[in-house]
Amino acid sequence: MTELAQAVVNGLQMGFLYALVAVGLTIIWGLMEMINFAHGEFLMLGMFGAWWLGAAFGLEPLLAIVPIALVMYAFGVLVYRHLMRRVQGGDPFTQIFATIGLLFLLQNAVVAGFTSDYRFVNDSLLVRLGGAKLALLGLTFAMPLLLAAGLALLLFLALYLLIERTEFGLALQATSEDRDAARLVGIRPQRMFAVAWGLGAALVAVAGAILVNFFSVYPQVGLQFTVLAYAIVALGGFGSILGTLLAALLVGVIQSVTVVYLPPAFKDAFVFASYLLIGLVRPQGLSGRF
Amino acid sequence: MARIALVIGAIAAIVYPIPLQLQGTTYYQTVGFLVLVNAMLGVGWNVIGGWAGQFDFGPQVFFAVGAYTSALLYVKLGVDAWLGLPVAVAAAALICAVLTYPLTRLRGHYFAISTVAIWMIAQPIGATWEFIGAAQGLFIPVKPRTGVVASALSLQFSGPTKAMGYYYAALVLFAFTLALMAVVERSKLGYYFRAIRDDQEAAEGIGIDSRLYKVIARSITAAVFAAAGVLYAFWALSVFPEQVLELNWSTLPIMATVVGGIGRLWGPVLGAVILIPISQIMSTTLGTGPLAGRGIDLIVYGLIIIVIAAFRPTGLLSLPWSRWFRPGPATA
């Protein structure tokens, strides 16, 4: 019983990190309805950025978040302006095609620059906290994961307020609802799409900078997270920020509880089995807006 | 005009390996084999993706079902590939129908993720199920055959004619698939599929059972993938989960379809003829030498894909080819 409760607690902490990985996709895919197969590669760039800034300049990954977010925001805007804006005019499947090209390009540019070796961050604040634990009600909370989860939650709240409570957020939502009507009231849809790509790329790269404390860094690390992120966004009901958080927590818990009873190979399979189950009972997702 | 292009293309496809075989090079025949396999998969994926308009990212599951079924029949019961083929195709279509019917409650992106879900669930099953060899998979032993006819009848080619044999086997399967899909395209089925894609509510309004026809469309796709899976298994002489459940078995055909022109019968064929040789040539030229293993070939390949997508998002078959190639002055 304690084992199960502990698994739930661990899963929840992981869930906050998954939420941060997925929320960038919530904006690009859920809200703006554009497909990005290179989402995991944006994450990988964030991870490599944090590792490299640490290895080359001794910068703490948690502080590296700021430059990484800025650079990746600009990168996201660039990707939209020069690639996705043109692709938008074609079949939706062309977005898949274009972003698979982007995936090949980014992944192998990093292979060319840094090789496919596994890298580890072993001198960061969270890694040094490694053994520290917080015991509460017979459950243990590993300090690094707890701090990272807290940080993720904080970022998440800020984003929620930005999207749901500011004029800018409303303009973004208006563009996703009806592009032409948005244009009539003076919103420039192209700019909104560009900002959405910038925000999405920056958020997932920040998630990467936090994840380097827990996962090894290599150029092919992205795909597993891309697949999970798509499931989370769909479970959360497309475009709902709180839905994404809820779904990510659920995914974290399903994974860690599955591992208690079954071989680790099945942990993602159970996430997707739950997706099918929930989807068939509630086809609009956990908190569908549409 | 189109008929002449078809005849020229068919002759080129048939003659292609002969000068190579005389020269003793097998590499370009293997490239040809991969082009045909991916073209065939693309033609199959076009049914669910292009005609019925459903996002399907999980057809590789049925590629694996085909490969495993024929390999099991061969290894455990001694059934030859060509006899195993219809069984594998039927099994894949049936499994697909049973799995897909409940999924058709979901629409759009939800359906897309549900096809990914089936793939994610299939992977650990493939990796742990002892009956199908778990992670090691199944090895297909080569039985010595004498003569071309015996090799062709058993789909087991070896020695210097291996590449050519599998090229022609792929050509036969590809041509059969293409002919069959040409019939489907013009049949009532084809119209139902496109009606569902263009406006599902309107299609239901005139009495088309959209769930049933989506299941039929995906099962046709699954059948084509299974047939290609059988061919691939006997070419690779082994079947293991990481190989047959690889994501490339859906992304490459989807990319070929998008490049050529989605929803057009010949779109995937054109796309495969362009994309597969580029990636193969990239990996043998830029992927070797002092920079081997640094992914230079895939960087260039990625760039080419990005440029094609940005330049022609509606596919290359949507270019005004007939206006360019029509004899006589073009009067607009």
| CA torsion, ordered B89, B95, B98, B99, to nearest 10 deg | -120
Contact flag B114-A276 (C-beta cutoff 8 Å): yes
Which is it for the CA torsion B111, B113, B114, B116, positive or negative? Answer: positive
B260 closest CA partner among B94, B78, B67, B45: B45
What ipTM describes this predicted complex? 0.84
Burial of B247 per CB tally in 10 Å (0-12, 13-18, 19+) = middle
Residue-wise pLDDT for B27-75, tens only, equals 888 899 999 999 999 999 999 999 999 989 999 999 999 999 999 999 9
Contact flag B110-A273 (C-beta cutoff 8 Å): no
Residue A137 lies in a domain: yes
Distance CA B123, CA A269 (A): 8
Residue B127 lies in a domain: yes
- Per-residue confidence (pLDDT) for residue B331, from 0 to 100: 42
Shortest CA gap B154–chain A (Å): 36
Cβ contacts of A266 on chain B, cutoff 8 Å:
124
Cβ contacts of A96 on chain B, cutoff 8 Å:
254-255, 258
Residue B190 lies in a domain: yes
Residue B74 lies in a domain: yes
Residues 6+ apart with CB under 8 A from A4: A257, A260
Q: Give the residue numbers spanning the domain of A210.
A: 2-281
Cβ contacts of B120 on chain A, cutoff 8 Å:
227, 268-269, 271-272
The token duo for B111 is 């359906």
Residue B54 lies in a domain: yes
B93 closest CA partner among B69, B117, B111: B69
At A159, which CATH number?
Answer: 1.10.3470
Please give chain A's pLDDT, 290 residues, in tens. 778 888 898 899 889 989 989 989 988 988 888 889 899 999 999 999 999 998 888 888 889 999 999 999 999 999 999 899 888 877 777 888 889 899 989 999 999 888 888 888 877 777 777 667 777 776 777 778 888 888 888 888 888 888 888 888 888 888 888 888 888 888 888 889 999 999 999 999 999 999 998 889 999 999 889 999 999 988 887 778 888 999 999 999 999 999 888 888 888 899 999 888 888 887 665 555 43
Residues 6+ apart with CB under 8 A from B45: B56, B59, B221, B224, B225, B250, B253, B254, B257, B268
Give how many domains chain B has, as a whole number.
1
Residue A287 lies in a domain: no
Cβ contacts of B105 on chain A, cutoff 8 Å:
279-280, 283
pTM of the model: 0.88
Give how many domains chain A has, as a whole number.
1
Nearest CA in chain B to A88: B313
Distance CA A150, CA B184 (A): 56
| CA torsion, ordered B225, B227, B232, B235, to nearest 10 deg | -170
A273 → closest Cβ in B121, B259, B262: B121
The token duo for A214 is 């827990």
Q: Which chain A residues in 143-202 lie under 8 Å from chain B, judged by CB atoms?
A: none
A280 alpha carbon, distance to own chain's centre: 25
Residue A93 lies in a domain: yes
Residue B266 lies in a domain: no
A93 → closest Cβ in B49, B113, B121: B49
Cβ contacts of A103 on chain B, cutoff 8 Å:
302
Q: Give the residue numbers spanning the domain of B123.
A: 16-246
Residue B3 has pLDDT above 60, yes or no: yes
Residue B326 lies in a domain: no
- A87-125 exposure pattern, b = at least 16 Cβ within 10 A, e = fewer: bbebbbbbbbbbbbbbbbbbbbbbbbebeeeebebeebe
Angle at B219 between CA B214 and CA B222, to 5 degrees: 130
